[in-house]
Chains A and B, each alone.
Chain A
Amino acid sequence: MAVSDALRANGVDAPLAGSGFARVPAAYWAVGFILLIMPVFAGSFWLFQIFGWSFCLGIIALSLMFLAGYGGMVSLVQMTVAALAGYTVAILGTSGVQQISLGMPWWLYIPVAIIIAVIFATLVGALAVRTEGIYTIMITLAIASAFFYFTRQNYDIFNGYSGFNLVVPPRLFGVDWRQPTAFYYLSLGMAVLCYLAVLYVARSPFGLALQGVRDNPRRMAAMGFNVTAHRIAAYAFSGVIAAIGGILLVWQNTQVAPFTAGIPAVIDILIIAVIGGLRRPIGPFVGAFIYVLLSTFSPDVLSSFGLSTERFKLLVGLGFLAVVFFSPDGALGLWDRWRERQRKNLDPLTGQPRTAGTA
Chain B
Amino acid sequence: MTDFTRRHPLWSLIIVVLVALLLWLILAPWTPGVEAVLGRKRVFLNAIFGGLTLGALYFLVASGFTLIFGLMRNVNLAHGSLYLLGGYIGYVVSNVTGELWITLPVVFIVVALLGLLLQHQVFRRMEGQELRQTMVTIGLSVVLADLMLWVWGGQSYTLQTPQWLTGPATLPIVVGADRSGNPVYMRFPQVRIAILVMAIIIGVAMWLVLNRTRLGMLIRAGVDDREMLTASGVRIHYVFLAVFGFGAGLAGIAGVVGGTFQSLAPGEDTRFLLASLVVVIVGGMGSIPGAALGALIIGLVEQIGLVYAPTYSVVFTFLIMALVLAFRPQGLMGSRR
Contacts and interface: CB of A to CB of B under 8 A. Distances in A.
A130 B325 contact: yes
B325 A320 contact: no
B282 to A, nearest CB: 10
Interface in B273-298: 274, 277-278, 280-281, 285
Contact of B278 (A142, A314, A318, A320): A142
Contacts of A133: 130-131
B119 interface: no
A310 B266 CA distance: 14
A146 B278 CA distance: 11
A321 B132 contact: no
A154 interface: yes
Interface string A133-169: 1110111011101100110011000000000000000
Given A153-B312, A311-B146, A314-B150, A131 B138 contact: no
A274 B137 CA distance: 14
Contacts of A142: 274, 277-278, 281, 318, 321
Contacts of A134: 73, 75, 130-131, 134
Contact of A314 (B143, B312, B314): B143
B117 to A, nearest CB: 15
B150 A311 contact: yes
Contacts of B312: 150, 153-154
A7 interface: no
Interface string A272-304: 001000000000000000000000000000000
A153 B309 CA distance: 11
A146 B138 CA distance: 19
A170 B256 CA distance: 52
Contact of B326 (A127, A135, A145, A308): A127
Nearest to B278: A142
A314 B146 contact: yes
Interface in A210-226: none
Contacts of A274: 135
B142 interface: yes
Contacts, number: 101
B194 interface: no
Contacts of B318: 142-143, 145-146, 149
B131 A145 contact: no
Contacts of B329: 130-131
Contact of A141 (B136, B146, B149, B277): B277
Nearest to B312: A153
A316 B75 contact: no
Contact of A324 (B135, B146, B147, B325): B135
Interface string B245-276: 00000000000000000000000001000100
A228 B150 CA distance: 45
Contacts of A271: 138-139, 142
Contact of B150 (A130, A267, A308, A318): A308
Nearest to B136: A324
B239 interface: no
A143 B135 CA distance: 18
Sorted nearest first, the 8 A-B pairs with minimum C-beta distance are A317-B142, A146-B318, A317-B143, A321-B139, A149-B314, A314-B146, A313-B146, A320-B139
8 contacts: A133-B131, A134-B130, A137-B134, A138-B280, A139-B281, A150-B312, A150-B314, A263-B270
Interface of B: 73, 75, 77, 129-132, 134-136, 138-140, 142-143, 145-147, 149-150, 270, 274, 277-278, 280-281, 285, 311-312, 314-315, 318, 321-322, 325-326, 329
Given A139-B281, A150-B312, A311-B150, 16 more contacts: A127-B326, A133-B130, A134-B73, A134-B131, A137-B134, A141-B274, A141-B277, A146-B318, A149-B318, A153-B311, A263-B270, A271-B138, A314-B143, A318-B139, A320-B142, A321-B143
